Structure 1
Amino acid sequence: MGVMNELINPGVVGSLERILAAASPGRRFPHLAGTAGQLDGLGLRGRTDLLSAAMLTDLPGDYPAAAAVFRRALKDPDFTGWMIWPVSESAATLALARRVPGDFEDCLSLLAELTPRLTGEFAIRRLLAADLDRALAVIQRWTTHPDWQVRRLASEGTRAYLPWAIRVPGLTARPAATLPILDALYRDPVEDVRRSVANHLNDLARHAPDQVVATAARWLAEPDANTARVVRHGLRTLVKNAHPGALELLGFAPASLAVTAPRLDRTVVELPGDLGFDFDVANTGPAEARIAVDYVVHYAKANGVLADKVFKLGIAVLGPGESRTFSKRHAFRQMTTRVHHPGDHALQPQVNGVRYPAAGFTVLT
């Protein structure tokens, strides 16, 4: 995260101070300028909060006046990049503080104006948490916006499990609330928008799997050239988790298969290291079989208990009697998102949601 933290650095602070001062003649931003020397040791979110708090001290105290400064700043092409995140957070803070009619909706409009410079998907979460229905009524209109980045914001900003963003309880409690947005965007002409829709659908699958499968089935009944790909990506977690409806919808019907235990290229992996493996899948039935081939790594936790994670390997169609070998190298590296512990592990094939015999190995740190 060190490199990510530097996305907001003293140079960014200096540029933001200059731009805001030019957008509000006669006003100085001393607290914002002072943050340039306070960034060390802070993560990206911490730096964002620091700049936002400083701006709130320097800016006019009411939302409309501050929003006017930000809109004038948009005339400067240098008003872009990661400096926008603290700006959007400041706007949300002011809009929510006054509870004056019109500020809430105008702040959403301002985030839509800012999002082509840097996505407003993080600040928008606070507005969603404050009044979900009121926010969604505005956001739904963005699905026909001429700027694809605003359309993407409609989907990305309302994801249940948006990375880096605060959770909005209403989005998990009411999974159907955002489906009208996805229905309007799954055939969007821009790949980035469709990718957001698929990721949004995949988020919903964590707590509303049957609703997600039903939605995907509706889309496949009225598809365009990209719908099948959107659905595959949106159902990826359900396929990994062997959800029967998702497997059936994607054509992975139960099949007569013979799957060998994995052949490992070593039984001991020293960190950092790799484990090579392969296994065979044979169609032993009389009909063609479409298969989703995954593999499961059973990781040893600190207490010695195994925790499994499914990884995609491939999709294939096997004729009657046909066999195919699947292989890969799996990396073991210490990461912030996964800490490896020494001990006994296992690797297991999974085909069309069914798990087959595993092979064990040991990880040494």
Structure 2
Amino acid sequence: MAMTNETAAPALLKDILGPEALATIADAGAATSPRFDRPAFLSAASDGLGALSIMERVRHIADALHAALSGDYADALDILRAMAPRLTHGFQAIAITEYVARYGQDDFDRSMAALADLTRFGSAEFAIRPFLARDTGRALAIMTRWASSEDEHVRRLASEGGRPRLPWAARVPALQDDPTLAAPILETLKADPSLYVRKSVANHLNDIAKDRPDWLLTRLAKWPQDDPHTAWIIRHALRTLIKKGEPRALALIGVAHGAAVAIDHFSVEPRAIRLGDRILIAVDITSTSAEDQRLVVDYRIHYARAGGKTAAKVFKLKTFELVAGDTAKLGIRQAIQDFSTRRHHPGRHDVELIVNGKTMAMAAFDILFDPR
């Protein structure tokens, strides 16, 4: 059965901001204010749209909004606020917040207030970056107040907007130099009741882990883990350091560095595959301890690269309690296929089994050259 326009998924991410999205934004503007020049918006927004990526389209639509909203900036913000509830996708609202980023930096406080209002409809995490770059201290002071907002979307923006390594976003020089500048915000949010906010705080802290691991470990060691929300953030914030086998990170989640276990079997099947096939990674782990143990079991694939080089990536297998003397049989299937962020090459791919941060077994599989 053919899918309707409402249910059909876009073939490409950028198609989220295609002609139908432009019509929705144009209709929202025209319904909100006679000042909104619908033909001017559609003409400007449609011109050259097809060649642009998703974030390029965000900026392109913001410029088209500027063409349709000539006149007073404060009035334009009122129109955008009224338009936002009429939009049908978060990326449409992100394009509206981008208008604030591109045309509101000279009206700093008014623009920041608008971003706090608009973030409920489509996160303003990208739009806030130019304000952080322009005046980091001023922006962070406002965001620190947001961290105490009753609105979870605003609290989440306080954390997400200040991430040092926010994906797809412009880098903020001050946060690159000192990724801990937003620490007061994270302290306020360390036991937030909203999972939406906690995920952002954990991701923010994980960003910091990549540049300032000692700072992060010292800070998190002071956080009380008797609150389940704080404990959740700590576990997820430490994922990069745990994958590296960092003993202090493992200790913070109650795991020893290394484990009293025997690896009875570790395999990757089939041993030879073609791109697009699946592998099964399987292991039997037997406790050699008289006490129960908490285990973090990961595996690291060393991907073959051109010129005989390799690039390693760690994947989660399972975190669990192994009863004294028991054997756990673990397995996971993984598709070996190309992504935009990972291209595969023929050759040997070593696979390490990592238990509590230590390599305990090795296996391998080969990707065969496919002339197709």
* Residue-by-residue CA offset, 1:94-117 (whole Å, 9 max, x unaligned): 222xx3xxx112111101100111
Matched, 1:77 2:86: yes
Checking the alignment, whether the CA contact within 8 Å between 2:354 and 2:361 is kept in structure 1 is no
Report the 3-state secondary structure (helix = DSSP H, G, I; strand = E; otherwise coil) of the residue aligned with 2:341: coil
How far 1:23 sits from its partner (Å)? 3.8
| Between 36-45 and 140-149, the greater mean CA deviation after superposition | 36-45
Residue in 2 that maps onto 1:127: 131
How far 1:286 sits from its partner (Å)? 4.3
Residue in 2 that maps onto 1:106: 110
1:1-365 aligned within 5 A: 2-34=11-43, 35-36=45-46, 38-60=48-70, 63-74=73-84, 77-78=86-87, 81-96=90-105, 99=106, 103-221=107-225, 223-254=226-257, 255-260=259-264, 262-364=266-368, 365=370
In 2, Cα distance between equivalents of 1:264 and 1:298: 13
In 1, Cα distance between equivalents of 2:180 and 2:60: 36
Checking the alignment, whether the CA contact within 8 Å between 2:349 and 2:367 is kept in structure 1 is yes
Q: Structure 1 residues 239, 157: closer, same or farther in 2, change over 3 A?
A: same
Structure 1 unaligned regions, length at least 5: none
Q: Structure 1 residues 26, 166: closer, same or farther in 2, change over 3 A?
A: closer
Report the 3-state secondary structure (helix = DSSP H, G, I; strand = E; otherwise coil) of the residue aligned with 1:7: helix
Q: Structure 1 residues 323, 15: closer, same or farther in 2, change over 3 A?
A: closer
* Residue-by-residue CA offset, 1:270-309 (whole Å, 9 max, x unaligned): 1101111212323334443221111111100122211111
Q: Which runs of 4+ in 1 moved over 6 A?
A: none
Checking the alignment, whether the CA contact within 8 Å between 2:269 and 2:365 is kept in structure 1 is no
* Partner AA of 1:123 in structure 2: A
Checking the alignment, whether the CA contact within 8 Å between 2:269 and 2:279 is kept in structure 1 is yes
| Between 23-32 and 347-356, the greater mean CA deviation after superposition | 23-32
Report the 3-state secondary structure (helix = DSSP H, G, I; strand = E; otherwise coil) of the residue aligned with 2:50: coil
TM-score if structure 2 supplies the norm length?
0.89
* Residue-by-residue CA offset, 1:121-180 (whole Å, 9 max, x unaligned): 111111112111110100111112121111111111111222222222322321221121
Structure 2 unaligned regions, length at least 5: 1-9
Q: Structure 1 residues 61, 301: closer, same or farther in 2, change over 3 A?
A: farther
Query: Percentage identity across aligned positions?
Result: 37
* Partner AA of 1:204 in structure 2: I
Count matched residues.
Answer: 358
Checking the alignment, whether the CA contact within 8 Å between 1:62 and 1:94 is kept in structure 2 is no
Report the 3-state secondary structure (helix = DSSP H, G, I; strand = E; otherwise coil) of the residue aligned with 2:348: strand
TM-score if structure 1 supplies the norm length?
0.91
Q: Structure 1 residues 62, 174: closer, same or farther in 2, change over 3 A?
A: farther
* Partner AA of 1:238 in structure 2: L
Checking the alignment, whether the CA contact within 8 Å between 1:261 and 1:349 is kept in structure 2 is no
* Residue-by-residue CA offset, 1:53-74 (whole Å, 9 max, x unaligned): 2222332355334323323435
Q: Structure 1 residues 27, 187: closer, same or farther in 2, change over 3 A?
A: closer
* Partner AA of 1:73 in structure 2: M
Report the 3-state secondary structure (helix = DSSP H, G, I; strand = E; otherwise coil) of the residue aligned with 1:339: coil
In 2, Cα distance between equivalents of 1:2 and 1:131: 39
- Structure 1 vs Structure 2 CA RMSD: 2.1
Checking the alignment, whether the CA contact within 8 Å between 1:261 and 1:348 is kept in structure 2 is no
In 1, Cα distance between equivalents of 2:268 and 2:88: 53
